[in-house]
Homo-oligomer: A and B are copies of this chain.
Amino acid sequence: MAQEQKTLLAATDKLKEYKIKNTPQRQVILSYLMTSHDHPSIEMIFNYVRGNGFSVSLATVYNTLQLLIDNNLIIEIAADSGGHMRYDYFETPHYHVICVNCNKIVDVYNDKYKKNEEDAQLETGFQVFNSQYEVYGLCPECQKKLADNKSY
């Protein structure tokens, strides 16, 4: 069986598990998020779905993403400059290191930051569901690029 179909099935299972009505659009969007590591934007998702031969509208992409967020299956990342939100499947806790120059997003699979959730709960009385950590800096490539430009 092709890898592509396997992930479609995995996405279908997830949708069932969360009692989300199973449509082709949702399968493709979720399977894309489950397998890709490129933290796609709305536009990338829209193009991906159409590129794979499924019909879809922007409205459906927005609706589906909101649904997946509400079910805590994916998270939204504010990748500042450019102003485009990015989306990420969030089964395994990890945090994001974001380049302020080129907007690249790198995953770090380390859930130490999650430990603060308990503190937050104790401190504020909130019932905590989730937490996110983002680190901002310059990626190695942009460090080099900017250093080269300066040494004129």
Contact = CB atoms under 8 A, between A and B. Distances in A.
Interface of A: 76, 78, 80, 95, 97, 99-100, 106, 108, 110, 112-113, 116-117, 119-121, 123-140, 143
Give the copy number.
2
Contact of A129 (B110, B131, B136): B136
A72 to B, nearest CB: 9
Given A80-B76, A133-B133, A134-B132, A119 B127 contact: no
Contacts of A131: 133-136
A105 to B, nearest CB: 10
B126 A119 contact: no
Contacts of A133: 113, 116, 131-134
Contacts of A128: 97, 135-137
Given A76-B80, A78-B78, A80-B76, A126 B135 contact: yes
Given A127-B137, A128-B137, A130-B136, 14 more contacts: A95-B116, A112-B119, A113-B113, A113-B116, A116-B135, A121-B137, A127-B138, A128-B135, A128-B136, A129-B136, A131-B133, A131-B134, A131-B135, A132-B134
Nearest to A126: B137
A136 B124 CA distance: 12
A116 B109 CA distance: 12
A23 B40 CA distance: 40
Contacts of A108: 119-120, 123-124
